[in-house]
Each structure stands twice: as structure tokens, then as C-alpha cells.
Amino acid sequence: MKYEVVIGLEIHAELSTESKVFCGCATTFGAEPNTNVCPVCLGMPGALPVLNKKAVEYIVRAGLALNCEIANYSKMDRKNYFYPDLPKAYQISQFDLPFCKAGYLDIEVDGLMRRIGITRIHLEEDAGKLVHTPGGTLVDYNRSSMPLIEIVSEPDMRSAKEAVEYAKAIRNILLYAKVSNCKMQEGVLRFDANVSVRPKGSQTYGTRTEIKNLSSFKMLQKAIDYEYQRQVSMVEKGEEIHQQTLRWNETGNCIIALRSKEDAHDYRYFPDPDLLPVILSDEFIEDVKHKMPQMPDEKKKMYIEEFQLSEYDAQVLTANSELCAFYEEILQDYDEPKTAANWVNVELMALLNQNDMLVEELAFSAGNMAQLLKNIQSGKISGKMGKGVLSEMFETGKSPEEIISAKGLSQISDTAELEKIIDKVLAENPASVADYQAGKEKAIGFLVGQVMKATKGAANPQSVNEILREKLKK
Ligand SMILES: [Zn+2]
């Protein structure tokens, strides 16, 4: 029998507010353990939480970016459980009245558009962090009460690849909306995957398991693939799948059962009596909408209409917010958007892909890239030389000026010098000259090539072309 995997994702993203969600403590990453703390986020008796307005603005922005309905009336609830990283023994979260619901995100997978439903987005506080050492387990409360949003999808994904594409697209949207820095290596973005299997064509869902706390796209992919195989082999053996919470073990490449899955009622949710319900006026929501940063679809449209980029180039650039930001920074110093897009999408992308690197890891700035393109634009160096300079910039982080002067690169634009070389090439290739003069337009390409060869690529091809045509008229 053929099986199909059904996946829903819960994505946790830390918001990039300056202070925590219910107190004034700083949210800076990497501070000395237990220094960004106060009685509120340490859960001291009698300390009272105050909701961070910026966090509300950010979750509304995320909701609007993900096509959600924004609630005018919302409230905070207590989710009760005990764990050493949770000093109050409850987490402030949202139960039945989240800020955002009923949204969606369109993604493209293997050339097909897929719409993934977003059930809800709610606001909650993060827990502290346990640090396991040989001497025992330590706890750092710096992360306690950091603002988190949880984006819950519908079970709309049908492959691990689709889940990864969706997670990447969510990350991209959050970056464009400027509500989270989404740094995976700092745990700012984390995924829980709900996975079940069913016979292909079936309309009912199988029993699902939940794999907690996946912190990279690779882990997400591997964990889902593994869980799918595990469930299929259980079903085939006639075994029953239990609703369970699982953990992906990265070193062992396997899944470990944590506990049997709890239901919402196990947490005894109730409205937090220390926090008032949140009433958002239509004016507030409109205002957030009005101040929204430009989202990828808008940018794409602008690139096509104003910059005359191809649909493909616009798509590649906007599908990655860091790449897009880099591209726009180049344009601050360089005024040919089409040429810049070409260099970013072709030359720069090739270097990044070959080295398995991200644009934010580049050793040189967008300003350097603009400088390089200006050198080509002015004819100081040829495009071909530019490619060499770019790969050296990539390796060393040096500025294009440094590389060009150290290597003594410069294009021969000096007409007198070029004419000498061209005369020689014409004298050596009488057959091509005759062909061209007999109307074979193509022959000029060969002659240009010969001149470029003779100058080791240092001639300006446009000048060569012009001088050749002039000389061949005679
Ligand atoms: Zn605090």
C-alpha cells in the first residue's frame, strides 16, 4: 500500500523587542547567565507582569504579513506545568483567544503553488534555559519571559520538503516584517512538527506524534523523514501508533520518546488574573498595517515594473530577505539595477553555492560590490576581469580597489594601443575579413575574440567592436 505523510508545524519565533514581554529586562543574547533578570521574570511572589506594547505591535505585524484576521479582543492565559526552567510553575500564553487566526501562506514547491493554512498565532513567554554540565544541571533565567510568537499551521503539508519550504518561507516573512532576527544558531527560531501517516487517498487523519524543538531546517527534514518511515513500518506490522511527544536525537540520527502526549486540558489553562484582556482598536490595527515594511510580493512587483528585472531574477532576490537587502544596498551606490541583479544572482550566487555559504557570511560589503560594478561600468576593468576580482574579494575580503591596483589590472581603452593590435589581427585573418565584407555579419565575432585573446582579455570589448567595424568599412 502507498502511504502519505501529513504534517503540521508549530513555529516558535522570538520577537526582536528590546525588552522582555512582561518586564523591562533586556533581551540581549549572550549576556552573563542570570544578569538579564528581575523579580517578574524570576517568578518572585507578588511581582506583577506588564504587557510589552511593542510585542503586541510585532505579533499584529506578523499576523498581517501572514494574511491573518486580527482579534479586537484577546487575552493572556496561564498554562500550568512544573519544570526547573519555569520558576512560576506556569507559562503566560494564550489559550482560546489568540491575537491572530485564520491566515495562510502561499509557497512554491517543485514549481507548484501550495497554500498552507495558518490556524493561529499567539503570544507567549519563553522559559529559562537548562545547561547540563558534568557537575550537574544549571539554570539560566536570561531567556525567561523573552517574547515568543507561536505560529500554528493547519496539517496541510504532504512531504518533509514541503514542510522545510514552508518553514523557510515563514522565516523570510518574519525577517521582511522585521519582527524577529530569526537567528537559528541562537535558537531564535524553533520548530515542532506534528506527523501522521495515512493510506494515500484517505480523507481521515492517522494518530499524530509531535517532534519537539527542531532547531534547523536540516533537522526538520531528517526528523520528519525518519518519523514517516517509523510510522509506516509500524502500520505495516499492524501496530498501533500512540499520541506521543518525541525528541530528535541529532547525534544518534534517531527519535526518542519523551512522554505520552498531553492534551490541552492537562494544563488547566485559565485567564491570567494579573493581566487585563487586550483590546485592539481598528485604528491601532490600521496603524500597524500602514507602517508595515515592504513585503516580498510588493518588492517583486516593484523590481519587475520599475527595475525591469525578469520574473525569475525578481523571484530569486525576494525569496531571501538577506540577499534582497544586500542587493538593495548595492543600488545605493550603483545605478544599474538589472546589471546588479545579474551579478548577484549569477556570479555571487555561484560562489555562495560552491562554498555552501550564506550571503550574511560574506567577507565583503555590498558597498564593495557596488564599487566593483562601477569599475566595470566605467570601463576601467572588463567584465571578465571583474569576475576574477569578485572571487578574490570572496576569498580575502579585500576591497576591489586594493585587488585591482595590486594586480595592475586595467582594461585597454587606449584607442591607439588597441588599433595596433587590431591591425595585426586583421592582417593575420584575411579570410574572416573577406567573409565579413561579403556580408557574413558573424565573422566579426571571431575577430573580436581574436583581439580579446591577443590582449588576454584586457581590451574593452565594446571599443574593439567599434574600431573593428570602422576599419572593416574601408
Ligand atoms: Zn525581568
| 25 CA to centre of ligand 1 in angstroms | 4
User: 176 C-alpha to center of ligand 1: Å?
Assistant: 28
What is the 38 CA–ligand 1 centroid distance (Å)?
4
pLDDT value, residue 253: 82
Ligand 1 centre to CA of 61 (Å) is: 24
Give me ligand 1 centre to Cα 11, in Å: 24
**Could you count the other beta carbons within 10 Å of the beta carbon of residue 164?**
19
- Separation of CA 48 and ligand 1 centre (Å): 10
Q: Find the 128 Cα to ligand 1 centroid distance in Å.
A: 12
In the chain, the domains with their CATH numbers are 3-284 (no CATH), 294-407 (no CATH), 415-473 (1.10.10.410)
Amino acid at 131: V
Q: What is the whole-number distance in angstroms between the Cα of residue 9 and the centre of ligand 1?
A: 30
Contact 165, 106 (CB under 8 A): no
Distance 142 CA to ligand 1 centre (A): 8
Q: What is the pLDDT of residue 413?
A: 60
Residue 409's pLDDT is 67
Q: Ligand 1: distance of its center to the CA of 49 in Å?
A: 9
**What cell numbers appear for 73 in the block?**
479582543
How far away, in angstroms, is 53 Cα from ligand 1 center? 15
Cα distance between residue 446 and residue 449, in whole Å: 5
User: Residue 458: its pLDDT value, please?
Assistant: 73
Q: In the 8-state DSSP scheme, what is residue 359? A: G
Say what the pLDDT of residue 441 is.
83
270 C-alpha to center of ligand 1: Å?
A: 23
Query: Cell 519544570 appears where?
Result: 83
Name the nearest CA neighbour of 100 among 79, 126, 115, 119. 119
In 26-141, which residue ranges form alpha helices assigned H by DSSP? 53-65
- What are the helix (H) ranges across 22-100? 53-65
- Spatial CA neighbour of 16 closest among 68, 62, 65: 62
CA of 78 to the centre of ligand 1 (A): 18
d(CA 73, ligand 1 centre) in Å: 26
Of the candidates 209, 242, 262, 251, the residue with the CA atom closest to the CA atom of residue 83: 262
Strands (E), 159-269: 189-199, 209-214, 244-249, 254-260
- Per-position pLDDT tens, the chain of length 474: 789 999 999 999 999 999 999 999 999 998 999 999 999 999 999 999 999 999 999 999 999 999 999 999 999 999 999 999 999 999 999 999 999 999 999 998 888 899 999 999 999 999 999 999 999 999 999 999 999 999 999 999 999 999 999 999 999 999 999 999 999 888 899 999 999 999 888 888 989 999 999 999 999 999 999 999 999 999 889 888 888 888 888 888 888 887 776 676 788 899 999 999 999 999 999 999 999 998 988 899 999 999 999 989 998 899 888 899 999 999 999 999 999 999 999 999 999 999 988 898 899 999 999 999 998 888 888 888 889 899 989 999 899 988 888 777 666 666 777 788 888 888 888 888 888 888 888 888 899 888 888 877 777 777 788 888 888 876
- Given this model, what pLDDT does residue 414 score? 65
Q: CA 22, 24, 29: angle at the middle one, nearest 5?
A: 95
Q: Is-contact 252 246, C-beta < 8 A?
A: no
How far is the centre of ligand 1, averaged over its atoms, from the C-alpha of 43 (Å)?
Answer: 9
Cβ pair 180, 14 in contact under 8 A: yes
Provide the residue type at 439 as one letter. G
**257 and 244 Cβ atoms separated by less than 8 Å:** yes
Give the distance (Å) from ligand 1 centre to CA of residue 274: 16
Contact between 430 and 416 under an 8 Å Cβ cutoff? The reply is: no
- Closest to 284 measured CA to CA, from 12, 5, 31, 59: 59
Cell of 344: 548577484
Cα(62) to centroid of ligand 1, in Å?
24
CB contact set of 263 (below 8 Å; sequence gap of 6+): none
Question: How far away, in angstroms, is 132 Cα from ligand 1 center?
Answer: 23
Taking every pair of Cα atoms in the chain, the longest distance, rounded to a whole number of angstroms, is 97
Q: 240 C-alpha vs ligand 1 centroid, how far in Å?
A: 45
Alpha carbon of 180 to ligand 1 centroid (Å): 20
Q: Distance, CA 99 to ligand 1 centroid (Å)? A: 23
CA of 31 to the centre of ligand 1 (A): 14
